[in-house]
Amino acid sequence: MTSAIELPGISKSANSPYIQNYGLVLEFSAQESNKDRKVIQGAFALPRDQDNKVYGPPHEAIVVTIDFDGRYSVVKPFEDLVALVGDVEETKAALVGYFQFDMYDYFERTSAGIHYVVSSLGVYVSNILQIPIE
């Protein structure tokens, strides 16, 4: 399966999650995943009028934690990516952005069971995903 998106990436795709309020949301993208890839899609909305504790481009500050059976990886998948004008949507009230990454780029593939994925951005913490690995 060839993915329609480049990973890790910071563009909006057809599978990007909808974000209703301020914060950070993650979704597991079954359409972009297979046995060799576990693609996580995300979106964030940061209020412009508050100190969100995010300095610089928001994507660079995203932290992802992947946990399985007491072993974990903590990574910043977009730390070295260059954000371009348009990668973050600016409205009067918020900065909105999207992202996607392959969980296997940051955690070994050999562990069968439920893996937990959570992300943070400044003062916001996402929902926790449960990703089954066979």
**For residue range 67-117, what is the model confidence (pLDDT) as tens digits?**
998 888 999 999 988 877 678 998 899 999 999 999 988 887 767 889 999
Q: Which residue has the higher pLDDT, 107 or 123?
A: 123
Q: What is the SS3 assignment for 32?
A: helix
Q: At residue 118, does pLDDT exceed 90?
A: yes
Q: What is the pLDDT of residue 77?
A: 93
State the pLDDT at residue 67.
93
Residue 79 has φ and ψ, to the nearest 5°, of -60, -35
Domains of the chain, first to last: 23-133 (2.60.40.2970)
pLDDT value of position 110: 65
Largest Cα–Cα distance of the chain, in whole Å? 46
Encode pLDDT of 32-73 as tens digits: 788 888 999 999 999 988 888 888 889 999 999 999 988 889
Token pair of 14 as six digits = 């057809």
Q: Which tokens belong to 122?
A: 């400044």
* Residue 37 burial by Cβ neighbours in a 10 Å radius (0-12, 13-18, 19+): middle
CA distances from residue 54 to 9, 23, 29, 37, 65 in whole angstroms, order as listed? 19, 12, 26, 29, 18
Q: Are 94 and 107 in contact (CB under 8 A)?
A: no
Tell me how far apart the alpha carbons of residues 11 and 25 are, in angstroms, rounded to a whole number: 15
More confidently predicted of 48 and 1: 48
Please report which confidence band the pLDDT of residue 4 belongs to, taking 50, 70 and 90 as the band edges: low
Assigned token pair, 18: 């909808």
Are 63 and 54 contacting, i.e. CB atoms less than 8 angstroms apart?
Answer: no
pLDDT value for 133: 85
- State phi, psi for 104 to the nearest 5 degrees: -70, -15
Supply the pLDDT for residue 2: 43
